[in-house]
């Protein structure tokens, strides 16, 4: 039986898996110790739980446990990576290369660094949402210290060629940072195979709790260092001070373990459901898929419906279906998505786009209902649109 509203906005956040909640509960009640308290069993229990979770998180991305720095989420991890590298490697240079469809946590941090006299190159993406590798190579110069390119885009699901990006950067001795918030737990990510030096991730995008994330910082070949952005106590190898969020960390670890075990079957099932949804919604004329059809996440589809007013479309759906017209952090803005604009879409198409992001608990029955509801709503709005009726 269908339960409304149907949630199809998993790129914004995911529900906490009940198995994750079960793992966390003891650390709110009986095992409530501070992981930095070394003088009694409460602290030892908490420290042991954090160590185990660190192993679970590290294993998911092929890292060493000592390379995982816990943060409050991916936004803090992005800030720590960008600001930390900029300060630590100031003696080498001040140039950072990123791209124009990064998450605001990266773009806004780069804008901040520009005020600190950083030089930032914002690579443009092609119509499919991928960067031009030749342009990347040409942008690198002697003062370049970091290439910061997201693993997968939050709005269109496009997966960047991280391995190729890393090869280009390594040839020039430049560090590689990726915001992998949307990718980790959804598709295989391996920091060594991919040649990644720093990686940001968060639990709430992979069926874990909100308020906990991590920054991976490479320790060997090369040994990477970042300056702390939060001081006080020297926690997390001196890179991020503050009392550790033990229940959150335990939940993060459990979420990573479940993703390792179930990613393969989840991917296969969700891709089939996504393709079914997409095929049906693209059947009517003047419906367009945004982003690259091949190089993308298996659970995401971003579609624009011409001759449909975006706000009307959302209002026609939001009582029964929870979907997004852009990223969650920008949903209060009336401006069209900067990601879709970067692909070359006009305001009309950018305004009439919907992002469907499926999840672990999405059912085929829900997809069937959404196909009918969206199709009917688009048809109704087009009939009401005077621009469409003149054609």
Residue 144 lies in a domain: yes
Q: Looking at the predicted structure, is the pLDDT value of residue 249 above 50?
A: yes
pTM: 0.96
Residue 142 lies in a domain: yes
Within this chain, do residues 65 and 163 fall inside the same structural domain, yes or no?
A: yes
Q: Which whole number is the average pLDDT over 347-356? A: 93
- Give the C-alpha separation, 25 to 246, whole Å: 11
Within this chain, do residues 328 and 356 fall inside the same structural domain, yes or no?
A: yes
Residue 232 lies in a domain: yes
Residue 170, domain CATH: 3.40.640.10
Higher pLDDT, 125 or 238: 125
Within this chain, do residues 62 and 135 fall inside the same structural domain, yes or no?
A: yes
pLDDT at 202: 98
- Give the C-alpha separation, 83 to 66, whole Å: 21
* Final residue belonging to a domain, choices 228, 257, 286: 257
Residue 336 lies in a domain: yes
pLDDT at 334: 66
- Active-site option among 16, 110, 256, 329: 329
Buried b (16+ CB within 10 A) or exposed e, 23-62: bbeebeeebebebeeeeeeeeebbbebbebbbbbbbebbe
* Final residue belonging to a domain, choices 257, 275, 290: 257
Within this chain, do residues 35 and 109 fall inside the same structural domain, yes or no?
A: yes
Cβ neighbours of 141 (radius 10 Å): 13
Q: Which whole number is the average pLDDT over 118-122? A: 98
pLDDT at 32: 96
Within this chain, do residues 177 and 63 fall inside the same structural domain, yes or no?
A: yes
- Give the C-alpha separation, 212 to 210, whole Å: 6
Please name the residue that has the structure tokens 């039986």.
Answer: 1
Could you tell me what percent of the chain has a pLDDT over 70?
96
Within this chain, do residues 38 and 131 fall inside the same structural domain, yes or no?
A: yes
- Give the C-alpha separation, 77 to 70, whole Å: 8
pLDDT at 93: 98
Please name the residue that has the structure tokens 């950067």.
Answer: 169
Within this chain, do residues 243 and 286 fall inside the same structural domain, yes or no?
A: no
Within this chain, do residues 33 and 114 fall inside the same structural domain, yes or no?
A: yes
Residue 1 lies in a domain: no
* Final residue belonging to a domain, choices 187, 222, 257: 257
CB 159, CB 295: distance < 8 Å: yes
Please name the residue that has the structure tokens 């759906």.
Answer: 317
Domain with 351, as residue range(s), is: 6-13+263-389
pLDDT at 388: 61
Q: Which whole number is the average pLDDT over 295-312? A: 93
**What's the number of domains the chain is made of?**
2
- Give the C-alpha separation, 273 to 268, whole Å: 9
pLDDT tens digit sequence for 307-345: 998 778 888 998 899 998 864 444 555 688 999 999 999
- Give the C-alpha separation, 278 to 291, whole Å: 13
Could you tell me what percent of the chain has a pLDDT over 90?
90
Within this chain, do residues 83 and 184 fall inside the same structural domain, yes or no?
A: yes
Residue 317, domain CATH: 3.90.1150.10
Length of the chain: 391
Identify whether 329 is a catalytic site residue.
Answer: yes
pLDDT at 233: 85
Within this chain, do residues 211 and 124 fall inside the same structural domain, yes or no?
A: yes
Q: Looking at the predicted structure, is the pLDDT value of residue 71 above 60?
A: yes
pLDDT at 328: 45
Within this chain, do residues 131 and 173 fall inside the same structural domain, yes or no?
A: yes
Within this chain, do residues 131 and 239 fall inside the same structural domain, yes or no?
A: yes
Burial class (CB in 10 A: 0-12, 13-18, 19+), 1: exposed
- Give the C-alpha separation, 85 to 177, whole Å: 10
Q: Which ranges in the chain belong to alpha helices (H)?
A: 18-24, 41-60, 74-88, 104-115, 133-139, 162-171, 246-281, 310-317, 338-342, 347-351, 364-384, 386-389
For the chain, the average pLDDT equals 95
């Amino acid at each position: 039986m269908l339960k409304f509203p149907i949630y199809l906005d998993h790129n914004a956040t995911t529900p906490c898996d009940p198995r994750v909640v079960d793992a966390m509960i003891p650390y709110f009640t009986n095992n409530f110790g501070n992981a930095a308290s070394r003088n009694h069993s409460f602290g030892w229990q908490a420290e042991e739980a954090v160590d185990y979770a660190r192993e679970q998180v590290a294993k998911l991305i092929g890292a060493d446990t000592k390379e995982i720095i816990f943060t409050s989420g991916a936004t803090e991890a992005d800030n720590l990576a960008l600001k930390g590298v900029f300060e630590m490697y100031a003696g080498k240079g001040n140039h950072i290369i990123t791209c124009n469809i990064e998450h605001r946590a990266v773009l806004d941090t780069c804008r901040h660094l520009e005020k600190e006299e950083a030089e930032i190159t914002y690579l443009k993406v092609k119509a499919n949402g991928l960067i031009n590798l030749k342009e990347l190579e040409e942008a690198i110069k002697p003062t370049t210290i970091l290439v910061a390119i997201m693993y997968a885009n939050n709005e269109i699901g496009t997966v960047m060629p991280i391995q190729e990006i890393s090869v280009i950067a390594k040839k020039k001795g430049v560090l590689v940072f990726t915001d992998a918030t949307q990718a980790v737990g959804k598709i295989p990510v391996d920091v060594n195979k991919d040649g990644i030096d720093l990686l940001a991730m968060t639990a709430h995008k992979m069926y874990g709790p909100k308020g906990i994330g991590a920054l991976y910082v490479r320790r060997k070949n090369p040994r990477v260092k970042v300056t702390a952005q939060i001081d006080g106590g020297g926690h997390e190898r001196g890179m991020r001070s503050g009392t550790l969020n033990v229940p959150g960390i335990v939940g993060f670890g459990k979420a990573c373990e479940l993703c390792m075990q179930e990613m393969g079957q989840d991917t296969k099932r969700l891709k089939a459901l996504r393709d079914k949804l997409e095929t049906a919604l693209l059947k009517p004329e003047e419906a367009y898929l945004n982003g690259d059809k091949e190089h993308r996440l298996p659970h995401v589809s971003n579609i624009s419906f011409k001759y449909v007013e975006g706000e009307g479309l959302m209002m026609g759906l939001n009582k029964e279906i929870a979907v997004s017209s852009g990223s969650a952090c920008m949903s209060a803005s009336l401006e069209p998505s900067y990601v879709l604009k970067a692909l070359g879409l006009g305001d009309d198409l950018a305004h009439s786009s919907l992002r469907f992001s499926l999840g672990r608990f999405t059912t085929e029955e829900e997809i069937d209902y959404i196909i009918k509801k969206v199709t009917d709503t688009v048809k109704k709005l087009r009939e009401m649109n005077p621009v469409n009726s003149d054609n």
